[in-house]
Amino acid sequence: MNQRRNASSKSQPTKPLITKSPDISKQKGYKSQKSNFFSSEKNIFTLCLAFRIANSLLIRTYFNPDEHWQALEVAHRIVFGYGHLTWEWRKGIRSYFHPLLFAVLYKVLALFGLDTPWFMAHAPRLLQALFSAVGDLYFYRLSNAIFGNFVAKWALFSQLANWFMFFCFNRTLSNSLETVLTLVGLYYWPCMRASPSKVPLVLRKWGLAIAALACAIRPTSAITWVYVGLLELAVTRDRLKFLVLEVVPIGALVLGLSCLLDRLMYGSWVIVPLNFLKFNFLSSGGDYYGTHKWHWYFSQGFTVMLFTFLPFSIAGSIKSKCWKLSGLIAWVLIVYSIQGHKEFRFVLPMLPIALMFSGYSLSVMAKSDSDSRRKGSPNSHMKRPSKVGFAIFFLLATNIPMALYMSLVHQRGTEDVMIYLSKEAQNEKVKGILFLMPCHATPYYSTLHYDLPMRILDCSPSEEKGIPDESDHFMMDPVSFVTRMTNGSLPSHVVLFDSEEKLLRDFLISHSFTEIRRFFHAHFKVDRDLQASVVVYALAN
């Protein structure tokens, strides 16, 4: 195994890039006490896995269509032969690598006869819980490698307590897996450590392979790895060797395997990363789904994700003086801010890094409390609550209600209705379903898991800007649109939001439909009119 030369013989990069962050556990006056539990990474992984499994079972709400339509729906089609492929798969801007992970899961469920409504609804998130637990473990490892064990424990607390990580990390989004790969990859890159020269260079090859894999799954992940790669280029001695013998061959190998996989699945050669970047960056195709102000990530998006951890993260960033990690967050947020279309999940890989700084800030507070108790009288700690104790109470009191509300309550109707229809379909009570709601507002065949006719409003982007899609036409004149759409052929069930129900109730009743179920959806609107309930109408026998 190749080792870097000693510090006396290696070239030194500019100081801000390798400034060693203060290790709280090694500062004067602090006595390191590793608990038995945290001395074993097996214990840490077991804790994280148990937490993420419970986390996954507590997610009952709908967040982003891609969780179902770009992963589970595709996987369901691969294994069971039916499922809806969105326009992205016709354009070749999605890689099959991510859906195939869930296709393997579906195949195993089918082989053991476990493809029941419960397992089809929960098993994918349970698999993601396993991936998330691996991400948590490497997050702890990375924090430990940079700041020490004492900080790492507080960083892990921040990761597990943050409401958005609880709400989003276990969802079957490609961004969730990208976040896991980012945490694993950063751990293996020497430039991300406090002392790069002490990291065996062979680990960098693992870091490169994982970075390439992240880019194959999410081409925009290259934004992160360009920064890390340039940082590594600045600190490494053999730059030419790094580029020619590591970056090029490893990157080409992973890209080649990814293209070969997509060739087998698409049936023709498709360079997904190129198509993806063309649509989302060169042509601003993502703007079709809405745009935000340039400062949205700074003023709203990333701020909301951090929530009450924000002041602790800012303080930790300043106190730790780990500018390369702070620079990574700033770099990613700035580059994503250039694009008009913005979403919370795009910057999910940066959230753990910010929470690591929060862990550093909490560790400083814990050390300060420890010093105060040691310098004061034996009963001094009874006179006033500790700073870190108050901080923990504040963070838990604000994040737990937010996590539970967003995971169990807000926008749950579209998940509940598909689980209900799945059970009804298994009992042969459903013959066909028409969804009169914004496209991709519910899960689809991957949750229903029954091969029957279903119809949604299409919202594929037009080649020409300004041309309304089916969803737009429906909102302009719901009754006329549905009349033309059904053309005398009525489904057995119609699903719609209560806001559209008001416009179509008379039409549905006149065509012998009756309301059979109503599911709570949301207390407040997100980006449309308030969609308080999801309503199911059935055709009278």
The answer to the question of residue 76 being in a domain is: yes
- Considering the domain architecture, whether residues 133 and 174 belong to the same structural domain is answered as yes
Examine residue 90 and state whether it is found in any structural domain, yes or no.
yes
Residues 344, 420 within the same domain: no
Nearest to 243 by CA among 335, 234, 181: 234
pLDDT confidence bin for 392, thresholds 50/70/90: very high
Provide the pLDDT for residue 378. Answer: 54
Kindly tell me if the per-residue pLDDT of 34 is higher than 90.
Answer: no
- pLDDT higher than 60, residue 383: no
Q: By residue range, what is the domain housing residue 126?
A: 41-372+386-409
If asked whether residues 364 and 462 sit together in one domain, one would say: no
pLDDT category, 23, cuts 50, 70, 90? low
Instruction: Give the residue-averaged pLDDT of 488-509.
Output: 91
Indicate whether 1 belongs to any domain. no
pTM of structure: 0.90
* pLDDT over 80 (residue 63): yes
Predicted pLDDT of residue 70: 95
- 439-451 pLDDT per residue, tens: 899 999 999 999 9
Q: 171, 90 in Cβ contact below 8 A?
A: no
Measured distance CA(349)–CA(177) in Å, rounded: 9
Asked whether residue 431 falls in the same domain as residue 491, the answer is: yes
More confident residue, 141 or 466: 141
Average per-residue pLDDT in the chain? Answer: 88
Per residue in 164-213, pLDDT (tens digit) is 999 999 999 999 999 999 999 999 999 998 788 888 888 999 999 999 99
Q: Kindly state whether residues 364 and 465 are assigned to the same domain.
A: no
* Same domain? 491 vs 509: yes
Task: Check residue 489 and give its pLDDT.
Answer: 83
For the four alpha carbons of 434, 438, 440 and 443, in that order, the dihedral sign comes to: negative
Check whether residue 367 and residue 473 sit in a common domain.
no
Residues 119, 240, single domain; the answer is: yes
What is the pLDDT at residue 438?
87
Is the domain of 94 the same as that of 168?
Answer: yes
| Residue 117 covered by a domain | yes
Q: Are residues 352 and 436 in the same domain?
A: no
pLDDT band at 357 (very low <50, low <70, confident <90, very high): very high
Residues 68-86, mean pLDDT to the nearest whole number: 96
Q: What is the CA radius of gyration of the chain?
A: 26
Q: What is the DSSP letter of 27?
A: S
Mean of the pLDDT values across residues 398-417?
97
What pLDDT score was predicted for residue 277? 80
Q: Report yes or no on 264 lying in a domain.
A: yes
In this predicted structure, what is the pLDDT of residue 250? 96
Lowest mean pLDDT among 281-290, 339-348, 354-363, 428-437: 281-290
pLDDT of residue 376: 64
Query: In this structure, are 60 and 165 located in the same domain?
Result: yes
Can you give the pLDDT at residue 382? 52
pLDDT for 33: 46
Name which of 494, 491, 497, 438 is nearest 469 in CA terms: 438
The DSSP bridge pattern shows strands 433-436 and 454-455 to be parallel
Could you tell me what percent of the chain has a pLDDT over 90? 70
Q: Is 257 contained in some domain?
A: yes
* 19 falls within a domain: no
Cα–Cα distance for residue pair 275/293, rounded to 1 Å: 25
- Overall number of domains in the chain: 2
From the list 15, 160, 59, the residue with the least C-alpha distance to 416 is: 59
Residue 353 pLDDT greater than 90, yes or no: yes
Query: For the segment 249-297, what is each residue's pLDDT rounded down to a tens digit?
Result: 999 999 999 999 999 999 999 998 888 888 877 666 666 667 889 999 9
